[in-house]
Structure formats: C-alpha cells, structure tokens
Structure 1
Amino acid sequence: MTTPRAGCAIDSQGRITFELPTAHGHGLLLRLRPKKGQPEETLHVLGLEPVDEGRARAVLNSDPVLAEGRWDVYLLDGSERTRLRPGPRDLRALVDGQWGERRGPLAVRVPYVTKDGYLAMRTWLRPAHAEVGRVDVTGSALSVTARLHGASLPGDAEVRLRLRRAEGTVRALKPLVGEDGRSFSFTVDDESLDTGIWDLFVRPAAGAPMIRLARLLDDVADRKHVFVYPGATAGKIVVRPYYTVDNDLSLEVKQAG
C-alpha cells in the first residue's frame, strides 16, 4: 500500500489547511510526540471533509493553542492510523514573520519534514518571546539584535547570560533599547566567561521573569544545522553563538587554540 501524502498551507494567523488526494479516512490525528520512554498523552483530531475531484481537506484553526513540542500527523481510517508523508508545503506566510507585531502568549506553528521523511509540525508556546534578528561576529566580539513580543523594555532591562548546569553563574549586560521600547541590541566581548554553554535571556525589568532569546518567527523548524556561525576570539577564549534544538540562542565558550 502506498503511504498517503498530505500537502499543507499556513496563513499569517497560524491556521493550517491540510489536503490529501483521497477521500478515504474520516479525520487527521495530530499526536504530540512523547518524550523517550513515555506514553502518548496529547492528541488532537481534525475532521476530514471531501472537496472536489476526490480530494479531502482538514483545517487546524489558530484556536485551540497547541502545547510546545513536535506533532506527528496521521490519517485516521476507522480504528487504524497511518502516518502521512509530506506533499507540497506552502509556508510563504511565515517567511517574514519576525517583522510583525505579536502579542503574548506567543503560539507558533511550523509544518516540516522529519529526518525519516514524514509530515510533522513544530510548535512553540511562550508567555513572551525575544525574537533574534541579526547575529554578527566581528573580531573579538559578537553583536545580537532582537525584538521583544508580549512585553516591553523599560530603562532597567537586562540581557542575562546564564551558564548551563552551574546554578547562580550569571553575567548581566545592559542592552541598547530602541525608541519603540521593544527592539534591542547588545554585544558580548567578555574575556572572562567560563568555558561551557551560556543560555541567553532578557529580563524586561527588575523582578520580572526572564525571557529566552530564540528565532521562532519564520519558516525554519530546525535551524541548529542551518544557521551556523563562526566564533569570536576574546583573549584566551572563543565564543560561538549557536541555535539549540529548540531554536533558542546560546553561546558555546571554549579555550582558544
């Protein structure tokens, strides 16, 4: 039996329309991929309606908001489920997504193709979000521009570098905040950073929750191996920015040479 394929298109509101070249099956199943060794718990079923010329369509509206993670897509036929291969994907509405204004909580959906060739969907759900723009590495420094969504930046805002797996090890930087109170930039050129992985956050105000810096608002579901940067050599260390598996921005610090 040929594995069925589903094309999909997403609009600027996050609504996704799935189309299949068959009217077989009664619905689509979206399954939040469980962590390794854990049972599946979160499922969402979409009705599948016939359209013209034997095609069928299912629509995932912007509401409900889906939990953050990776969702696999299946065709339901009675009690059977069949994982779908991808057809054409129209993601044009996402390409310039970082330029729009977003309110919190931020819900993002990006259809993509898994490493083994199946259709899936990447989702993020965050109370507020700091969208990374340019990352420039020049000589001994790296500069980052970003824009905050779902919050604003008063005068006491800080960018915070937190050393992973080292509780309490934090470096604070004063960002340059734009006139809109949302865009900001900062430079990392500290030669005394400890070796390890530093995660990047912005804290809008004293006592406010820290917001992770990430790049979520475009059509790239997995950017770790797509956006690759050189390192900045500062004294005896090399600081290299990189995107994690969750598309968050972090710094890898190693000894130079």
Structure 2
Amino acid sequence: MSTRQDTAPRTDCAVDTNGRITFRLPALTAAARPRLLLRLRPAKGGPERTLHHLDLEPGAADGRPHAVLEPHPALAEGRWDLYLLPEPKAARQRLRPGLRDLRALVDGHLRDRTSPVAVRVPYVTKDGFLALRTWLRATHAEALALDLADRGITVAARLHGAGLHETAMVWLRLRGTGTVHEVRPRIDGDGRGFSFTVGAGDLAGTAAHTGRVWDAFVRPAADAPPVRIGRLLDDVADRKHVHVFPALSAEHSVLRPYYTVDNDLAIEQTPADSPT
C-alpha cells in the first residue's frame, strides 16, 4: 500500500563548518517558483506560528534544485519540519532524508563560539522524515567528557559566548526547587575550559525516599546568571539514549549522570536500596 511517506521527495543535505546547510532535491517537474518551507514544530495542540521559506534554485549540471540555509539569521530553538512547496498555493509535501553529510559538525566542540550560540543539526524523525534540531542560547557550556570513578563524577566542559571569572561556580540545582549545591570549578588558563567533580558524598545528605534530579549549570561570575551545561556541538540531535552512563554508589545514594531530551546534563539521584 502506498503512503504519503513512500512518495515524499528524498532530500540530501550537507553542513559546512560555518553552519551553512545546503538542501538538494530530486529533479522536479516544471513548476512555478518551487520553495522549501521550514516550520517550527508547535507545542502539542498549539497553533503553527513560525515559518521560514527558502527559494529553490535550479541545478547547474544535474538539474536538481537546491536551497541554502545561511547561518544568519539564527533559527529559534526547537524542531523544524521540512516541506516542499512545488508552486504557490500547492499543498506542502513533507521531505524524506537522502544523504546527510554532517562531517563538519563532528568536531564542532573544538571551535569557540561567540554569543549568541546557534546550533542546527539535521536529523531523521521517528516517522522517517527530515527535520532540523536547533538551539539558540546567549551562552552555552559544552560538556566534553564525563569520568566516573570511586571519588565521584568528573565533568570537563568549555564555555562558549563568554569567559569565566575567578569567582565562577558550578551549580547543581535540584529540579523543581531552589536548592543548589555549589562546586568550585578548576578553570583552564584561557578562561574558557573548566572541570569539576561531584564527590561521592556531596549529594548523599540530601537523599530522599524517591528519586531526585540535579540539573548542571555554571555561573561564569558571581554576578552572572547560570548557564546550562549540555552537549550540543556535534552531529547528535538526540543524545539521551545514545550516551548512557553507568551509576555510581555514593553513601546511601546512587548517582547516574545523563543527558536530558534537550541534550542538557543532569544527575539522577536515587536511594541505594531502590530496586534497579
């Protein structure tokens, strides 16, 4: 049986080191001014509000039309679905993924970013269509490595869009409350890289009968707002089930770091006698 997904055009995309994305579609039948539509996915049950259009240019050699999404202006944070508009007033057609060249994103964490930090990662949705995952933040702290040992969880990270003052502090904020556990970070000589360790007993005294989650932030200076620590600067759009870490027993608690659905870093804390 034929479905809409089966007949949707396949679209190749390639990202360069400047964040420019080129979309290349199959050759189209004669059409008046075909365009590419990017739609910011609304909240469930919410109205469609944000659309972005790109003109499709004819291919010089192979006849395949292409569109270029420039790095600026930056797209709002969220998930963007891609559609083909064959001609004005025609019904939009959802696009399926072809070849995705994301090599330029793999080592994106090695390049320092200015504010605002804008990230765009093409990915395939659960139902098999092409989409973009985007983040847009004034500043961002990129988690680089997590190491679990007997002494605790050590995180190495790098701040983008700002620098670290000697008064910088890592915050572990208990989700849903105003409770914050502070950790003094070790700051690299360039004032951007830093690391910190959550000791085996640091959170043990706050253990509850049910699980708790601590969200990780860095406050660049004593008078600066906290910046979320996460991992955004590579080719992985959804990290939660890709990077899975073991648990660490910590004085009547079990600590397990993980990435949230937004690719932000958190630490789950459960009592040591909880069933696994």
1:73-152 matched pairs, under 5 angstroms: 73-78=82-87, 79=89, 80-152=91-163
Query: What SS class does the counterpart of residue 202 from structure 1 fall into?
Result: strand
TM-score, normalised on structure 2?
0.90
C-alpha distance after superposition, 1:173-204 (max 9, x if no partner)? 10000111110000012122434011000001
Please show how residues 199-210 of structure 1 align to structure 2 within 5 Å. 199-210=215-226
Partner of 1:172: 182
Partner SS for 1:94: helix
Matching of residues 23-42 of structure 1 within 5 Å: 23-24=28-29, 26-42=34-50
Which segments of 5 or more consecutive residues in structure 2 lack a partner in the other structure?
none
2:63 to 35, 51, 54: 54
Higher strand share: 1
State how far apart, in whole Å, the 2-side matches of 1:20 and 1:3 are.
Answer: 11
Aligned to 2:51: 43
Aligned: 1:18 with 2:43:
no
From 7, 10, 28, give the equivalent of 1:5.
10
In 1, Cα distance between the equivalents of 2:267 and 2:223?
24
> What displacement does 1:140 show?
4.8
Alignment of 1:216-227 (within 5 A): 216-227=232-243
Aligned residues: 256
Secondary structure in 2 matching 1:50: coil
> TM-score, normalized by length of structure 1?
0.97
Deviation readout 1:115-170 (Å, 9 max, x if unpaired): 1100000000000010000001112511000000111111110000101111x211
1:162 aligns with 2:178: no
2:228 maps to what in 1? 212
Larger radius of gyration: 2
Residue identity (%)? 59
Structure 1 unmatched runs, 5+: none
